Amino acid sequence: MGFRKENIGLVILVGSLIAAAVLNSQESDRKKSLNYMPEASGVVIFSSEDESKKAIQEINDLRKAYGKPPINYSTKAYNLALARAKDMNQYGYYDHMNPKTKTCADTMKIDYGFSDKDYLAENINTYVSTGPGMALSVQTMSDSIKGWMNSRGHRFNLLYDMHVAGAVACDLNKCVFLGLNSEAFGKGCHTAKEGQEYWEKAPPQSGEIAR
């Protein structure tokens, strides 16, 4: 069946609308992915060992409230956590593994004084823009801790029974918590997507605190 000339413009218009809808859908899916986070360029979280020690004390207060043993502050963990936050900003990603270099906390740990038998389980957080013209509030390490406590996998890591030490460090709008243990929790490089998929299906874990 042929098209009349007067219908050609309509066909082109409909085709254009369909193409635009597909592109918008693809863009929406991209923005929903774990690797895409709109940067909050005005956010800078001041990171220092003193601030990190306060963060560990706050974590220990939470651990005590849930009957968990306290963890020590670790300067080595702070330096590695800071390096991880800086790596995310330097390479422009938001994940537990650098998509370009394929490095993660577990592959970087030797350079920061840890042994092969030391394992560091990582929480990450980034502050994002809330929309055009929206004011950016002051953010702190404490804000990251509160956010992590509202997420199953992150909460499990903060309260993990076998952690003995840890630290929180931030660079610009990225914050990282590392919990140190010898139980292979944190072994290997895994993406945030893999972690999310695991915790969405995982049965209750030993010692897990549900909220």
Q: Could you please report the per-residue DSSP string of 68-99?
A: PPP-EE-HHHHHHHHHHHHHHHHHT--SSS-T
Residue 114 is encoded by which pair of tokens?
Answer: 């840890």
pLDDT of residue 44: 65
pLDDT of residue 139: 78
Long-range contacts for 1-7 (Cβ within 8 Å, ≥24 apart)? Answer: none
Q: Is the dihedral of CA 65, 66, 70, 74 positive or negative?
A: negative
Cα distance between residue 80 and residue 62, in whole Å: 23
pLDDT of residue 211: 77
Residues (pLDDT < 70) of the chain are 1-44, 128-138
pLDDT of residue 129: 54
